[in-house]
Structure 1
Amino acid sequence: MKKPNLLPLPFHYFLKTAYICFFLSVLNIPLLAQSEGIKISGTVTDTKKEPLIGVSILLKGTNKGTLTDINGKYTITVPDQHAVLQFFYTGFNREEITVNKKTTINLIMTEAIKELDEVVVVGYGAMKKRDVTGAIASISSETIEQRNAISIADALQGQTAGVQITTGSGAPGEAADIRIRGTSTFEGGAKPLYIVDGVPFESIEDINPADIESIEVLKDAASAAIYGSRSANGVILITTKQGEKTRPRLDIRYLKSFSTLSRKMPKANGDERRYYDRVRRELTGGVNGYDIKDSLAFFNNQDIDLQDLLFRTASRDQVDLSASGASDAFKYYLSAGFLSDKGIMVNSNYNRFTTRINTEYKPNKYITLGSKVHLSFAYKNGISEDGVLNQALERPSYWAIFNPDGSYVPNISSRRNPYAVAMDDVNKAQNYRASIYEYVEVRFNSKFKFNTNIQGNYLNDRSQFFRTTPQLSTEERSTGRDLSEISYDWANENYLSYNDKFKYHELNVMVGNSVQFWGRENLNIVGLDYTTDMIYTLNTASLFDTKKTYTRFYRHKMASFFGRASYNYKGKYLLNANIRFDGSSRFGSSNRWGTFPSASVGWRFSDERFMRWSKRFLSDAKLRASWGITGNQEIGDYDSWQLYSPNYIYEGVSGIAASNLAYNGLSWEETTQYNIGLDLRMLNNKLRIVADYYKKNTDKLLCQVEVPKETGFKTMRKNVGAMTNEGFEFTVDYDIFRNKNFSWSVNFNIAKNNSIITQIADGVPFYKGMDEAIYVQQNARLGEFYGYKYLGIFAYDESNAFSDNWERLTPVFSNGTFTGKYYLGDKEYTGTVQQKKSSDGSVLKGGDVDFFDTNGDGTINSADKTKIGCAQPDVFGGLSTNLSYKGISLYISFFYSLGGDVYNYAEAKRNKFSYDGATPSPDAIHNMWTKPGDIAKYPAPINKEHNRLPPSSFYIEDGSYIKLRNVKLSYSLPKNWIKPALLKAATIYIYGNNLLTFTNYTGYDPEFSLNTGDPLTLGIDQNRYPRKREYGFGVNITF
């Protein structure tokens, strides 16, 4: 029986005429006239004999065609029996049928497995990508390999909308700062939760990207809430490779690269520095500025740009080996990797050894046993960034670095020899990790299965620091430090899953529980007065600093119950719900348990009957909406407890005293997030669009609150803050062209996030960061810079003149002599002349900085601070393209950040003019005020506090940038070339990383993070280790 048309008749006809005909005409795909040729009719169904609505049927070689109706039926007229019909439908294989003598052609279309069954990993399971109702982004192993990534951050940067990745610095082995949809905490830790093969990781720098099969980023609460109290900052799921059911294979990859400094900072040479000294002496009457009596003295007769000594051409070697295979019962993947990364700064390097053993065994169809083991060792040799880079730029170029006998020049005027510090300082770190994940899956039948696993991590970190005696000032003591830390955790998870399909319905239910334990032990020993610089081990220390030497132990536990249910009807109407209950020992007994629910819905409106007109160009379309609550528990293990410290000394007597106030009301940070999304696939899946809008409200923020002095403490931790994050994300993938020999694809993503602080403790604003540049206040954006607004430099003493309404006056001079007259605009001013004063009450003179008087009282002080910038970017994202012709492939990727400001603290510090040992920048020397009448950018080079009031808007710069991140040209050798060598595949390639940066920023690099662990401080450039420009080649071989 024919199914009734559920739409009202007039609307039904309106759709047929206004939509189908209109869009087909726009697309230049008119329906065939039915009055000539051979009339063909039939029905199109799927493998379950269900009719397929809106199948596109085209006459090959023309733009003429038709669509199947609600019953899967169609009629089309073809010119003759040689005509060929093409059938297209989203998620199904394309079909072609020659008419011959047939007048009825019925077709059963088969599903395209790659599209319909492509899955993404979610918490405690996987699901079809097309059925996802949350905001999940996925990165494949192919994309990771294209980028030659040496870390997870490298693989993700610029690839995923809404994920902002800033590499901390260019130092080898440096961790990156990863933010998913902004910052949602004050002090509770802002990094996402990392899950590697089911095991939570605190850091992911020691994961070899060559082992990764896929990376999923869970961005919204509906996706992340299954991880409860640890998921407020998003979740990154990393799945490593497993053997495939093919013949055993051996993969070998080798990369070699060379790198140089990508950008050199301008530094004053010897002549410029001598000119600066001369002007400084003249303006201060000889009080400041070096007066070099002997111009031929070896120490003062050099011209050295220390950047030429500190930076070098470095190299990187990377070797990855893997063996894999599978049978019906057994899978295996074994790998080993070695990375040797020499830094572009002398005496800096990073070595990493990794190995992975993934196995899975199925003794029968009911039981699966698996094991995933990860082992790594990393060794890093670094430098003191601030003690080297800033001192190198500030040190007078005419000062020698080496004595005539070749030894290092020692510490002079509290200025260390930067090259000696870089070469002789000991700054080493070692990291050992072992991670294990053992699991069992019992499949009772096709619907029920039970999973259990035991997992754990063991980390042993050790860092050593020692500074040699020649680089110490007279009041400093030789100091060494040896810090060892052992961290370990284990967990047991158990969950039962039910999956069922009946007619048009699909239901999935999962319930489970977990118990987890974390422990940490550290030992810090600080030695003093070493007997020799040749040996930096603690046995050469004369004594120990007992105030800084300690051992500490930390423990915390968590128990959880969780569940998920998902339902879909015909793949058209999708529902999903998650819930998790977490109980943590970090919180007091009254708030130990937290509940974290989420829900999401999806509507595949492209499958609706009224959308069948769109099938020719709209392959798939889905609306998504979600809501959920996630949490953050990243605080100290004992912040809610009363703690006591044994380091209390009173009148020379040691004792024990309280060091922390107990607060039983301490609770979780909670983030409530809303998300609306749209997924589109168009033009037979060639064009794919994902768009999301979200809003996150975070409250109960954990932060330190001042307490009455009578308690004997300054602060205690409480839940008092709140923030919001709001933004959008947009991603488009377009296969511009694709056939057997040539393909060209493009990916573009863009995101905007706005982080606003809505509540702080007692509503009292406070400053953060270097020079207290960041101002934290309610109802303001995160990362706002507050300081003094720079207006210019007073050319004359008389230039500091303003009307009684504080309008700027213009002094009148005749032959260089002030006439005593002022003009206001084009008229002579005869009223009262007012002058600005510094905070000490002195009148500002020629050569002083003219700052904006915010409150109009005539005195420039802290009350005149105002907003001068914001570190948050307006938008950020990435662009990549991949062209392939036969065996040749070209991959290019960019990433960008537009609109954020940077406080160039390093340059402000260099140009303070406060002491003789620091050399200003060449720009400052050439544009400083030297005499009355100078139109200058910089003040007079004298030691005056007013002129260096921090932060100044003069040093707030546009931090926008676009970076050419990767270029890779590869060639896959033809099969007939490599077959005699018993090779399955071989690819050779050349590549470049960080090749170009388009920016107006004057520092080393506008991309940096502070590595302070403070989420509230951002955008303050302290001259961290610069990034390198890298060129290399590589080869991949498969046996």
Structure 2
Amino acid sequence: MKNNLEYRGFMRLCLLYICFLVPPPYFAHFPHGHCFKDVSILEPQQQFTITGTVSDTYGPMPGVHVLIKGSNKGTFTNDKGGYSITVTNKDILVFSYLGYHSRELPVLGRTTLDVEMLSEVTELQEVEVNAGYYTVKEKERTGSISRVTAKEIELQPIVSPLEALQGRMAGVEVIQQSGVPGSAPIIRIRGQNSLRNGTTDNGNLPLYIIDGVPVISTPITGGSNMYLNGIDPLTTLNLANIKSVEVLKDADATAIYGSRGANGVVLVTTKKGEGYFTKTKVEAHMYSGFGTASNKMDLLNTEQYLRLRKAVLANDEREPDESTDYDLLLWDQNRYTDWQEELFGGTSMITDLNVSASGGSATTSFRLGGSFHKEGLVFPGDEQYQKITAGLNLSHRSKNKKFRVTVSANYGFDKSGTPAYDGSFYSTALSLPPNAPPIYNDDGSLHWEEWEYSSNLNNPLAAILNRTATDLGYNLIANMGLSYSVLNVLTFKVNAGHTYLNREFKGLFSKDEYRPDLREFLNHRSTESHRTRKSSIIEPQLVYKNKLGNGSLDGLIGMTYQQNESKSLQVSGEGYPSEALIKDLSAAEVISISDNKYTKYRYNAVFARFGYNWKQRYFVNITGRRDGSSRFGPNKRFANFGAIGAAWIFSEDPFVKRSIPFLSFGKLRGSYGTTGSDQIGDYGYLDSYEATRGPGGLYPTQLFNPDYSWEVNKKLEVALELGILEESVHLGTSWYRNRSSNQLVGFPLPSITGFGSVQANLPATVQNTGWEFELSTANIRSRGFNWQTHLNLTFPNNKLVSFPDIDQTSYANTYRVGHPLNIGLLYKFDGLDPETGYYRMVDVNEDGRYDYTDRIIVKNLGSKYFGGITNTISYKGLGLSFSMDFVVKDGLNYPLATPGTISQQSIEFYKVWQGTEGDVVQKLSLTNAALSAYRRYRISDRFTSDASFLRLNNLGISYEFPDAVLDRIGFSTCKLFLQGRNLITLTRYNSLNVETPGDSSIPSLRTITLGIQLQL
């Protein structure tokens, strides 16, 4: 009896604690002020009846499934939304209805429990979207923000989160330049704004923010040249630790970041722990599979190749010679080797394991996780890419809810064994004749004899097998946030963060990679590169939120102090006495330093934001920022940026509700503002000097320019959003115009000055306009079956609006005013010369020479439109999702070697030459006149073709075990999944990598993985 009384007393204390101390979001279903109205103190196993009504915003909901969690006992609501079920005090009720967000609510002794369900589609409008320094409900945002969630990222067999954005966001184009793990993709948010578009000097990169901490977005150069565009700085993130990725696009969304947001902002938010009396939740998922190169070019077989070669000799009226025609006289005429298969036709084995634990109490929550990812390479050898990550998130708040502290730390380590090959690796696979010598002798050793017949060929596998390359990366991103509510309407916050990124590459080059007849003239070599980036930031803020009249006012004011430091060192050694000493740099005969830099960047800013909404119908958002950057001269160091955005939810107007009853949501919004850019090298405005080779001397290398200043990007947008039939159809349409002026470039100078260029602002204006469409439909919503579709489509238009005196600059032969930046300046094809049989181009000025004045055809090589479509289908525990992305564009034909030389050729050319396809081909010849004609042909309008493609980007199939099975096996969630990526690509373009027409790089891998996801 005593124990029973003690138990009842304990239960009373617990209920008191729950009602008064636990925050409302978790127990929102308790009626305010009536916590004990229907609660009686019951024994845990005592059965009683609980009743209630289930409804949504439109009234009672019949047919809702009410289930006691962990059992097969349940019922359905009647036509008035009512239900009645026998329960015990410890039971948890699960309310579910397809198309609505499921709710799990504990009984806790109550005899009545009314529940309000939220539609999954309607819920999208209630989602809190990360806008950077603040969050906003989806339906109330005035800016353009696109979002993908953990559900779309965490199980995909990819390395960088940017890959998951392909085809999923309007206005956001992600181009994967290489299938080598860790390669940096190209990401463009509403087009190219800057004339600088190189690898190391790129003014078009967006700003990356991870949990409030900015990360330098410039790809990391150095190491293996197989990383054509550098290494992605987001590679070491744990994909399973990402909660969402938001992309800010227009002025209203980006202006609060000032100069850093000129090219858009990518916000990565990591997962946090769950508190409020939840038990510790353990999650794990593992997948394993394989990947192969998703595409290969159609090239000639041996018979076709030899026919081309012999035709050249016949046309040039000469006999074959062993020194120049060894492929015809000394090589096996029946041998065939598919060099694409030999050099990148391997299978990449993929393994990924992720484990996390989260939980907490009423005041403290935590999440701790780690992952391991291993991915083989498709190149010969057993090298691979590996990644290990660890993440910690802590959150604590005081009992009075006034003080809050959050801490997050994400650490990643990756190691790549990608061969230290130069950029010719892929072109070697595409150029070696099909009857080239074998790789191995019969005893398994490398074959050399026949390779020595040529002065410029080498066994292609020798470099891979006789080179050792290791590329290591260490990345730490840490953040701490403190906040204190001074008043009910005023909060003081401080966010501080630190990042540390280090990459170390070491390549060892044995002279044994070369032919034996050349080794006596060569040395063993080595190269090392060390690159470090450090960044620290602190941002104090004052946040205000209060009701004002018929609406509410919220705002913030803050300051930013940021400092970046970068170091780079590249050292090479040559002339090692033996291969055994090649790892010891001090043993080298010659040591040279090709790169040794240290730079520091400081950035300060003051920013403010004020937003007002009236009757949840009209919204205004004003942002402003004053930036200061150490990259500019003292006369132009500071600049002001700002924006205004407004929105009108007209569907809340009583007249609209009466007139258009099927319109469930309607919003008109717009924004205008300015952002800037300081994406240039450090110290670009200063004089600089270098030491002369002789002792005691200096010579100038850069001129001082105190007026070197900011780029300015003016952004305008108008958008309309519509939800129809309870938002079973949601349509968003946006028109935007961005104008970037005062371009930051190196201004060329006459040679008489002694300098090639001076850092300056060119009076050029680049404009990006476009239409964006996003459509979401709930095609089928029933109790057992659900099918949703999401479509996005973008029509971009990039143009160089003005560039005074462009003819006096080095850009005269690169850009044309009134045309896009990504263009080809081409000759006009004029058929075959009837006298010579060679290609002929139009000589515009009839001066007998061919130069840029004759290249009058301006071909747009950018995307005409692009987009993606995703379908998600579920039937009970089965799930199916598949997404496709597409691009419509033109591209230059793949630049294979001149037909008839000792090199491979495309099957397309062969068919045209044979007359099986309609076109014209000049007479095969290797005379100077024929070679010159072909070189001009390759930069003519005839050498372009349709490079559009449609790709099945992702396919996922899953099965989630029902609750009855989970209860027996002891898991709260168990899901099997199969994922496929880059499975099918439809295109008429014969290129190795369809995403980057004309470039020589391996395409993204075609991967298939099978895995399991568990939750305790």
Q: Does 1:553 align with 2:628?
A: no
Contact between 1:532 and 1:540, CA under 8 Å: does it hold in 2? no
Contact between 1:487 and 1:521, CA under 8 Å: does it hold in 2? yes
Aligned to 1:697: 739
Describe the SS at the equivalent of 1:589. Answer: coil
Aligned to 2:3: none
Q: Letter of the 2:395 partner, please give it.
A: E
Paired residue total? 875
Equivalent in 656, 660, 670 of residue 625 of structure 1: 670
Describe the SS at the equivalent of 1:1003. Answer: coil
Matched ranges for 1:884-899 at <5 A: 884-898=874-888
Aligned to 1:751: 794
Residue 625 to residue 868, structure 1, CA distance change in 2 (3 Å):
closer
Aligned to 1:1024: 1001
Contact between 1:146 and 1:891, CA under 8 Å: does it hold in 2? no
Aligned to 1:51: none
Aligned to 1:361: 396
Q: Does 1:276 align with 2:308?
A: yes
Describe the SS at the equivalent of 1:781. Answer: coil
Matched ranges for 1:501-650 at <5 A: 501-502=547-548, 504-533=550-579, 536-539=582-585, 542-544=588-590, 546=592, 548-614=593-659, 616-646=661-691, 648-649=692-693
Instruction: Give distance in 1, aligned partners of 2:522 and 2:333.
Output: 25
Instruction: Give distance in 2, aligned partners of 1:574 and 1:673.
Output: 19
CA deviation string 1:751-793 (max 9, x = no partner): 111111123473228788xxx9x83122221111112233444
Aligned to 2:95: none
Describe the SS at the equivalent of 1:444. Answer: strand
Residue 338 to residue 111, structure 1, CA distance change in 2 (3 Å):
closer
Matched ranges for 1:890-909 at <5 A: 890-898=880-888, 900-904=889-893, 907-909=894-896
Residue 301 to residue 736, structure 1, CA distance change in 2 (3 Å):
closer
TM superposition shift of 1:729: 0.6
CA deviation string 1:979-1000 (max 9, x = no partner): 2332110000112111111111
Residue 271 to residue 177, structure 1, CA distance change in 2 (3 Å):
same
Contact between 1:580 and 1:597, CA under 8 Å: does it hold in 2? yes
Matched ranges for 1:127-276 at <5 A: 127-145=136-154, 147-187=156-196, 188-202=202-216, 203-245=233-275, 246-276=278-308
Equivalent in 926, 937, 947 of residue 942 of structure 1: 926
Aligned to 2:844: 854
Contact between 1:929 and 1:935, CA under 8 Å: does it hold in 2? no
Residue 461 to residue 109, structure 1, CA distance change in 2 (3 Å):
closer
Contact between 1:242 and 1:333, CA under 8 Å: does it hold in 2? yes
Residue 509 to residue 919, structure 1, CA distance change in 2 (3 Å):
closer
CA deviation string 1:128-157 (max 9, x = no partner): 221101111121222224645442122211
Contact between 1:329 and 1:362, CA under 8 Å: does it hold in 2? yes
Instruction: Give distance in 1, aligned partners of 2:211 and 2:866.
Output: 29
Aligned to 1:396: 433
Equivalent in 961, 973, 981 of residue 985 of structure 1: 973
Matched ranges for 1:649-668 at <5 A: 649=693, 655-668=697-710
Contact between 2:298 and 2:990, CA under 8 Å: does it hold in 1? no
Contact between 1:278 and 1:289, CA under 8 Å: does it hold in 2? no
Describe the SS at the equivalent of 1:670. Answer: strand
Describe the SS at the equivalent of 1:123. Answer: coil
Instruction: Give distance in 2, aligned partners of 1:695 and 1:779.
Output: 15
Aligned to 1:21: none
Residue 442 to residue 935, structure 1, CA distance change in 2 (3 Å):
closer
Residue 289 to residue 965, structure 1, CA distance change in 2 (3 Å):
farther
Instruction: Give distance in 1, aligned partners of 2:991 and 2:127.
Output: 45
Matched ranges for 1:957-1036 at <5 A: 957-1008=945-996, 1019=997, 1021-1036=998-1013
Q: Letter of the 1:389 partner, please give it.
A: Y
TM superposition shift of 1:363: 3.0
Residue 1037 to residue 558, structure 1, CA distance change in 2 (3 Å):
same
Aligned to 2:418: 382
Matched ranges for 1:797-876 at <5 A: 799-800=834-835, 845-846=836-837, 848-855=838-845, 860-867=850-857, 869-876=859-866
Instruction: Give distance in 1, aligned partners of 2:752 and 2:331.
Output: 61
List gaps (5 residues or longer) in structure 1. Answer: 1-45, 48-54, 62-81, 87-91, 95-106, 801-844, 1009-1018
TM superposition shift of 1:176: 1.0
Describe the SS at the equivalent of 1:1029. Answer: strand
TM superposition shift of 1:709: 3.0
Q: Does 1:342 align with 2:376?
A: yes
Moved more, 112-121 or 257-266: 112-121
TM superposition shift of 1:742: 1.4
Instruction: Give distance in 2, aligned partners of 1:936 and 1:749.
Output: 40
TM superposition shift of 1:437: 0.4
Describe the SS at the equivalent of 1:776. Answer: coil
Aligned to 2:897: 910
TM superposition shift of 1:280: 2.5
Matched ranges for 1:114-129 at <5 A: 114=123, 117-129=126-138
Q: Letter of the 1:696 partner, please give it.
A: N
TM superposition shift of 1:935: 8.2
Residue 452 to residue 294, structure 1, CA distance change in 2 (3 Å):
closer
Instruction: Give distance in 2, aligned partners of 1:262 and 1:766.
Output: 41
Instruction: Give distance in 1, aligned partners of 2:414 and 2:236.
Output: 7
TM superposition shift of 1:457: 0.7
Contact between 2:794 and 2:867, CA under 8 Å: does it hold in 1? yes
Q: Does 1:956 align with 2:993?
A: no
Q: Letter of the 2:933 partner, please give it.
A: H
Q: Does 1:313 align with 2:351?
A: no
The TM-score with structure 2 as length reference comes to 0.81
TM superposition shift of 1:275: 2.8
The TM-score with structure 1 as length reference comes to 0.79
TM superposition shift of 1:93: 10
Contact between 2:678 and 2:711, CA under 8 Å: does it hold in 1? yes
Instruction: Give distance in 2, aligned partners of 1:767 and 1:304.
Output: 44
CA deviation string 1:95-153 (max 9, x = no partner): xxxxxxxxxxxx99999894664211112121222110111112122222464544212
TM superposition shift of 1:486: 1.4
Describe the SS at the equivalent of 1:400. Answer: coil
Instruction: Give distance in 2, aligned partners of 1:604 and 1:894.
Output: 32
- Tell me the C-alpha RMSD between the 2 structures: 3.2
Residue 626 to residue 283, structure 1, CA distance change in 2 (3 Å):
same
Matched ranges for 1:103-122 at <5 A: 114=123, 117-122=126-131
Matched ranges for 1:317-336 at <5 A: 317-336=351-370
CA deviation string 1:301-329 (max 9, x = no partner): 74222122221122111111111113111
TM superposition shift of 1:1031: 1.6
TM superposition shift of 1:617: 1.1
Contact between 1:280 and 1:288, CA under 8 Å: does it hold in 2? no
Contact between 1:415 and 1:917, CA under 8 Å: does it hold in 2? no
TM superposition shift of 1:1027: 2.5
CA deviation string 1:169-209 (max 9, x = no partner): 11122111110000111225211101010011123222122
Larger Rg: 1
